[in-house]
Every structure is written in structure tokens, then in C-alpha cells.
């Protein structure tokens, strides 16, 4: 059993205050103890889920695609996008990759090929408008009294009548309207951070969901913005941060999360 001498309750005034990101808030929502291990203690992650790695590598390929367009070059071909994908995948060589049932490198390669082909067929492969930002970092104090909110926005495009803020997702299947609504907080926060780019134009927020199905598909899901939605999202962030500062860290075991968690051994050794 792993000994964790550092895993103990610290006085609130000694807890590190850092920026807030949507991913950190999502981690706390899913499992407060995982948040503590990662963001407070900085424990090493020796494993990574293949689904997470595939999503990250796919983002690298799409980022490269848009960077080439921004530089005035032709859209890169499939072989080049796959090279970028595998280069990003290899960056995790130091971690043990946890493959899903029936997965291996060959199946991952076949899936990446199909997903990138689906992306190349989509309207987003040749966006109408001017690319303003690709994987751009935005940060600002959105809520008084809380640390800065940090976001990394995948793609921002300026059209004649609006500024499009797009976040790419990879998913096992297509998203329902409820899924989009349940995920909207992320883009609402990103929209608040990207307001300075609007220059008087309206912001349009959307998820671009690229599925990992047998025949992948890329679907654009708009996210509507209303003042009451933004207000509610701010209230959720405030409450989550208050919960984090209260140091109420505890495990939240689920059959979906635990098998791919990189902190399974520290979690088992944790005694509160």
C-alpha cells in the first residue's frame, strides 16, 4: 500500500489559491478527492485513459490544421494530420495507457483515420470567416473575490455578422439536446472571457462534436446565451469554489470513473 504522508487536511489559509479552470471545476464535481490529489498535492499520474489521450491527440491534429490555414497554406492532407496525431500520442509514452475493451493501437489508428476523414468532410474544415484564435489562452477575473478564470479556447472565427467561439469535443456517440444543455456552462464561461474579441459583434457559441462511432460524424451544436443562464453559471462557479476552499475532499467511486483514474492507488491508501 502506498503511504501518503502529504494527504492531510491543511488550514484554509495555507491552501494554495490559483486560477480556476472549467476542467478543475469538473474534476471536483466528479470526485473531490481526485481534485485534491491533482491540483493541491500534485501527485504524479502514471496512467492515462486511451479515450482521454485520443481526444488530446485529435485536438493537436485539428490545431495543426487551423494553424496551416491561418498561415495561408493549403489544408494539410490526411497523412500529415495522422502524423501530428501520433506525435501527440507519443508524448504520453511515460504513462501506462489504459485501453478500453477491444482496443489496441491498431484500432485506435483506424479510428483516428476515420475521425480525421469526417473532420475533413465537415464545413468546419474550411471555415467561412477569419480565424482569430486557435487554442488561445484567455484569463480574467469573472467573479469578484475568486481567482481568475482560465480558459483555452479551441477556435475563434470572425464572420461578417458575429464572432464564433467553438469548442471541439470527441464523444462515443452524438450529443442530445439535453447533453448540450448540461455542458453549456463551459461555453458560457468561455464566451464571457472572449467578449473583448467581439468588438461590438454578437458572440455565437457552439460545440463541435466529433464522434468515435463506426462512421464518425462532426456535428455543430449551438449554445444559446441568455443573461439568466450566465448568472446561474457564475453562481455555480462561486459555490464550487466555496466548496473547494472548505477542503471537503472525499472519494466519489463510480464504475465509470474509477477504472481509468490515475490515482487509484493513492485513493485506496487515503484514510481521510
pLDDT for position 5: 36
Give the mean pLDDT of 151-175. 96
| Cα–Cα distance for residue pair 34/53, rounded to 1 Å | 18
Q: Give 195-253 pLDDT, tens digit per residue.
A: 888 888 999 999 999 999 999 999 999 999 889 999 999 999 999 999 999 999 999 99
Task: State residue 3's pLDDT score.
Answer: 37
Query: pLDDT averaged over the chain?
Result: 91
User: Secondary structure of 65-120 in the HEC alphabet?
Assistant: HHHHHHCCCCCCCHHHHHHHHHHHHHCCCCCEEECCCCCCHHHHHHHHHHHHHHHH
Specify the 3-state DSSP secondary structure of 266: helix
Q: Please list the helix, strand and coil fractions of the chain in percent, rounded to the nearest 5, in that order.
A: 45, 20, 35
- Nearest of 109, 133, 124 to residue 58 by alpha carbon: 109
Query: Residue 9: pLDDT above 70?
Result: no
- Confidence at residue 14, expressed as pLDDT on a 0 to 100 scale: 42
Question: What is the rounded average pLDDT of the residues 137-151?
Answer: 93
Instruction: Report percent pLDDT > 90 for the chain.
Output: 84
Domains in the chain, CATH or no CATH each: 19-123 (no CATH), 129-240 (3.90.320.10)
Amino acid at each position: 500500500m502506498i503511504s501518503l504522508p502529504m494527504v492531510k487536511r491543511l488550514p484554509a489559509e495555507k491552501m494554495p489559491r490559483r486560477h480556476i479552470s472549467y476542467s478543475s471545476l469538473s474534476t471536483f464535481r466528479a470526485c473531490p478527492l481526485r481534485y485534491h490529489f491533482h491540483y493541491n498535492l500534485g501527485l504524479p499520474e502514471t496512467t492515462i485513459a486511451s479515450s482521454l489521450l485520443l481526444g488530446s491527440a485529435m485536438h493537436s491534429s485539428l490545431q495543426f490544421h487551423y494553424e496551416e490555414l491561418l498561415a495561408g497554406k493549403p489544408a494539410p492532407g490526411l497523412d500529415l494530420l495522422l502524423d501530428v496525431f501520433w506525435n501527440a500520442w507519443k508524448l504520453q509514452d511515460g504513462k501506462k495507457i489504459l485501453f478500453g475493451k477491444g482496443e489496441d493501437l491498431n484500432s485506435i489508428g483506424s479510428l483516428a483515420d476515420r475521425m480525421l476523414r469526417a473532420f475533413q468532410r465537415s464545413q468546419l474544415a474550411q471555415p467561412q470567416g477569419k480565424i482569430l484564435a486557435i487554442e488561445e489562452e484567455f484569463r480574467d477575473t469573472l467573479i469578484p473575490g475568486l481567482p481568475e478564470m482560465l480558459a483555452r479556447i479551441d477556435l475563434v472565427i470572425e464572420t461578417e455578422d458575429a464572432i464564433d467561439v467553438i469548442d471541439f469535443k470527441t464523444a462515443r456517440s452524438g450529443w442530445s439536446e439535453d447533453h448540450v444543455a448540461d455542458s453549456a456552462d463551459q461555453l458560457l464561461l468561455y464566451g464571457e472571457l472572449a467578449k473583448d474579441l467581439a468588438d461590438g459583434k454578437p458572440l455565437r457559441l457552439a460545440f463541435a462534436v466529433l464522434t468515435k462511432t463506426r462512421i464518425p460524424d462532426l456535428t455543430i451544436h449551438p449554445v444559446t446565451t441568455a443573461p439568466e443562464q450566465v448568472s446561474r453559471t457564475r453562481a455555480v462557479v462561486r459555490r464550487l469554489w466555496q466548496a473547494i476552499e472548505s477542503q471537503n475532499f472525499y472519494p466519489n467511486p463510480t464504475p465509470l470513473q474509477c477504472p481509468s483514474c490515475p490515482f487509484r492507488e493513492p485513493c485506496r491508501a487515503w484514510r481521510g
